[in-house]
Structure 1
Amino acid sequence: MKILMVCLGNICRSPLAEGIMKEKLQERGLDWTVDSAGTGSWHIGEKPDTRSIAVARKYGIDISKQRARQFSYDDLNDFDIILAMDRSNFRNIQNLSTQKAHNEKVHLIMELAQPGNGTDVPDPYWNDDGFEQVYNMLDAACDKIIDQLVATQKSSDVQ
């Protein structure tokens, strides 16, 4: 399983989501690939925002070695599931897509974790206090998504 987390600049939300997901997969002994990207190009090559690094560190996760990169068309082929942090990034990803199979890989992370909820992961860049809220949202979402993906894999193995 290859999972891609996507936000706008790839310095706040998606690096946190990547770090959280990797940690949870390691704890469960799942050998899946997780990466992150941004739909914008402003921060290519930069470390995650220091506030994202700090909140991840608070929970025992090190995301300081991650580097921002821009989402590309190739990601639609390379990943099994692409999780957008909000509707704007979801639309940006879908606008690059040229195939129905690509569109079926793209989901809003909170919609996948809490179907029907319609919640976006807020961008904490302009709100120092928002990083903790974003961490907690993504932490809970990653647990639910892993459970769903494992269940889906098991049911397809049975068939």
Structure 2
Amino acid sequence: MLDILPDLFDQHAQQLQWLPIQWCDFGGVPTFYGEVQTVRCFEDNSRVKEVLAMPGRGRVLLVDGGGSLNRALLGDLIAQSAQDCGWAGVVILGAVRDVHALKGMSLGIKALGACPIKTQRKGIGELDCVLHIEGVAVNSGDYVYADRHGIAISSTAFHIDSEGAIKEW
């Protein structure tokens, strides 16, 4: 189950939207998928920390950090919380830190890059908002599918079994 996106696009292209960004992989799980929860924040990871401390139930947090690489919106402690709470992954339109520790976690993590500087938490950010990433609208409740090819978004849930077979739910 390493390459899910080629098969998904071959079989269900009309139900998928490609996020045309060359993401960097930082987590220990390069292939992941799940229901999306959205957060918008800029150089303040207060909401990211809050959300990832809640039960994840296999979901994926999609964070619009405005593309900033000046502050890391995710580090090892928050990522460990996400892993412990059952999140499948975190996608950040921004930076992460503690990259060596992140690589050892059982969590999918994609971001634009890395930055060693933490944020100042001011409690700023929006939850469950519509994110517009490279012309693609992403809502909480959509589904994200990620592998080393990148990321696709869909309003349709697909089940991908351990052998890579894809079924619409």
What is the TM-score when the length of structure 2 is the normalising length? 0.29
What is the TM-score when the length of structure 1 is the normalising length? 0.30
Q: RCO greater where, 1 or 2, for CA within 8 Å and sep 6 or more?
A: 2
